[in-house]
Chains A and B, each alone.
Chain A
Amino acid sequence: DAKTTQPPSMDCAEGRAANLPCNHSTISGNEYVYWYRQIHSQGPQYIIHGLKNNETNEMASLIITEDRKSSTLILPHATLRDTAVYYCIVRLRSNDYKLSFGAGTTVTVRA
């Protein structure tokens, strides 16, 4: 799996958009970008994934640059419940289900 780089932490004001960057400069053409988050001591929660097009669901939006070397997860209106560790992962969509988690970004949403 390609390696990802995320900032260790970031703060966000409640109600504002949170933009979480991720660098994956060695990503290959058939690797997807996945985002998960983990609220303290719970299991990771799937957020969104994408290959090269921007994606949006009820939780977030994923913006992938044209060269695919970086991406941004956008939480449109952050709430206190969005405080968590956010993981950006790249992986092949194949029979290999292994997810390689890095240290992630600790996001703290402040009132």
Chain B
Amino acid sequence: KAGVTQTPRYLIKTRGQQVTLSCSPISGHRSVSWYQQTPGQGLQFLFEYFSETQRNKGNFPGRFSGRQFSNSRSEMNVSTLELGDSALYLCASGDGVTDTQYFGPGTRLTVL
């Protein structure tokens, strides 16, 4: 099976802009989670979607949002970008059987 894919891999934006990141889970997986990784805060959970419903949410401002489509693909959106949003954004999919999550390669977002 193909692994988790994320697009784009690299992105440069300026403050105030918005950005949309995409994640395609492993075929058959219905759970998609998003994480933010920065040097200062480490890996932090953003939110998790299962069957198009947000099931869990981390402690991030409302500028961070996401959605999941009927084919389990997921997108996350960050509005009004700030310099501190520069990070590696990781997506993970879960098989719902072993509850193990598998991560994608990430999208490196740089906000100038």
Residues of A within 8 A of B (CB): 34, 36, 41-46, 49, 87, 93-103
Residues of A within 8 A of B99 (CB): 93-94, 97
Flag if B45 contacts A44 (CB, 8 Å): no
Interface residues of B (CB under 8 A from A): 4, 31, 33, 35, 42-45, 48, 50, 55-56, 58, 88, 90, 92, 94, 99-106, 108
Which of the residues A34, A36, A43, A96 comes within 8 Å of B104, measured between beta carbons? A43
Chain B residues near A45 (CB-CB < 8 A): 103
CB pair A43–B105 under 8 Å, yes or no, is yes
- Whether A95 contacts B50 by the Cβ 8 Å rule is yes
Pick from A41, A42, A46, A98: contact of B100, CB under 8 Å: A46
Taking a contact as CB atoms under 8 Å apart, the answer to whether B55 and A43 are in contact is: no
Most buried by A among B50, B94, B101: B101
Whole-angstrom distance between the alpha carbons of A93 and B97 in the complex? 10
* Residues of B with C-beta under 8 A to A100: 45
- Does A43 contact B33, Cβ atoms closer than 8 Å? no
Cβ A97 vs Cβ B104 within 8 A: no
Give Cα distance in the complex from A80 to B45, angstroms: 30
User: When chains A and B are docked, how far (Å) is the Cα of A83 from the Cα of B103?
Assistant: 18
